[in-house]
């Protein structure tokens, strides 16, 4: 039997349903928000101008996706979307910890020795995961979420193709590029697992049909995709070196990100900007 929850008001009537929905929405919002933030730090620093234009377009779309999820949370009664984005501490964040990782050495305004290999591997891994998760929520019992997922899925193929092309190109080009990419893949293998997980409320998300598949299936589907692209699959199991971002475990890199992205917001929270 499939259930449909049409509005925020109905969702609020079942505490268990509400809790699982809330967690899922924060995962979706915070993932897109933080990866878009890391993308915005890259602005003006990409390997060539065409890439700067393309990457900033993807980054902007991704921020747009985060906004849609924060708006759903606002509708649910979680508070103003701007506060949800700018005024939650690290332990309240639900993004995968790997996604908050710094872009490389230096800061975005000072000596930004950012690593394009990290950008390519991270974005390819993320977009291939995003596809799996979006498809699984496009039939969500929470109608407003299913609608957003369908919208996001329409923009997604372009983003996905972009990063897939990059990783394919670099994996088969110069020796240096191959090595740099492979190193970042091996590194990600030890850090990416919590991105694929659903956190403490994963079972409830599935029971309430908020998402069509469980985390094992998400992981399996994601592995199927990356297997077709990676020239050399890492041998060990996937790990989550930094703990589970889905349960609020994060690194100091997230603190740095929040300090930057909320700097102006925090300078006067009562102001209208």
User: Which residues of the shown chain bind other proteins in the complex (CB under 8 A)?
Assistant: 37, 40-41, 43-50, 52-53, 56-57, 59-60, 63-64, 66-67, 70, 81-82, 85-86, 106, 108-114, 116, 164-165, 168-170, 172-174, 176-177, 180, 260-261, 263-265, 267-268, 270-273
Please provide the DSSP assignment of 17-76 as one string.
HHHHHHHHHHHHHHHHHHHHHHHHHHTT-SSSHHHHHHHHHHHHHHHHHHHHHHHHHHHH
- Give backbone dihedrals phi and psi of 26, rounded to 5 degrees, phi first: -65, -40
How far apart are CB 244 and other proteins at their closest, in Å? Answer: 25
Rounded CA-CA distance 273/269 in Å is: 9
Of the candidates 154, 190, 159, the residue with the CA atom closest to the CA atom of residue 35: 159
Q: Which is nearer to other proteins, 2 or 273 (CB)?
A: 273
What is the C-alpha radius of gyration for the chain, rounded to an integer number of angstroms?
18
Q: How many CB atoms lie within 10 A of CB 261?
A: 18
How far apart are CB 268 and other proteins at their closest, in Å? Answer: 6
Q: Which is nearer to other proteins, 168 or 241 (CB)?
A: 168
Q: Which is nearer to other proteins, 16 or 173 (CB)?
A: 173
How far apart are CB 203 and other proteins at their closest, in Å? Answer: 31
Q: Which is nearer to other proteins, 93 or 240 (CB)?
A: 93
How far apart are CB 4 and other proteins at their closest, in Å? Answer: 28
């Amino acid at each position: 039997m499939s259930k449909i929850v049409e509005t925020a008001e109905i969702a609020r009537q079942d505490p268990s349903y509400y809790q699982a929905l809330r967690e899922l929405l924060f995962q979706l919002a915070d993932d897109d928000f933080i990866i878009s933030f890391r993308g915005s730090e890259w602005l003006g620093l990409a390997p060539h101008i065409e890439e700067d234009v393309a990457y900033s377009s993807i980054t902007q779309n991704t921020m747009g996706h985060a906004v849609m999820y924060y708006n759903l949370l606002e509708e649910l009664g979680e508070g103003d979307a701007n506060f949800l984005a700018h005024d939650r501490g690290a332990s309240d964040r639900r993004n995968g910890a790997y996604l908050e990782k710094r872009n490389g050495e230096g800061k975005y305004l000072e000596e930004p020795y950012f690593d394009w290999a990290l950008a390519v591997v991270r974005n390819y891994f993320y977009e291939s995961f995003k596809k799996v998760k979006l498809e699984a929520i496009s039939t969500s019992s929470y109608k407003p979420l299913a609608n957003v997922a369908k919208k996001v899925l329409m923009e997604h193929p372009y983003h996905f193709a972009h990063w897939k092309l990059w990783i394919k190109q670099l994996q088969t080009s110069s020796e240096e590029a191959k090595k740099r990419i492979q190193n970042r893949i091996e590194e990600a293998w030890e850090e990416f697992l919590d991105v694929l997980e659903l956190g403490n409320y994963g079972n409830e998300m599935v029971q309430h049909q908020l998402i069509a598949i469980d985390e094992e299936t998400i992981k399996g589907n994601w592995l199927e995709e990356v297997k077709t692209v990676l020239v050399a699959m890492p041998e060990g199991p996937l790990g989550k070196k930094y703990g589970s971002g889905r349960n609020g475990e994060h690194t100091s890199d997230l603190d740095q990100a929040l300090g930057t992205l909320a700097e102006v917001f925090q300078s006067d929270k009562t102001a209208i900007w």
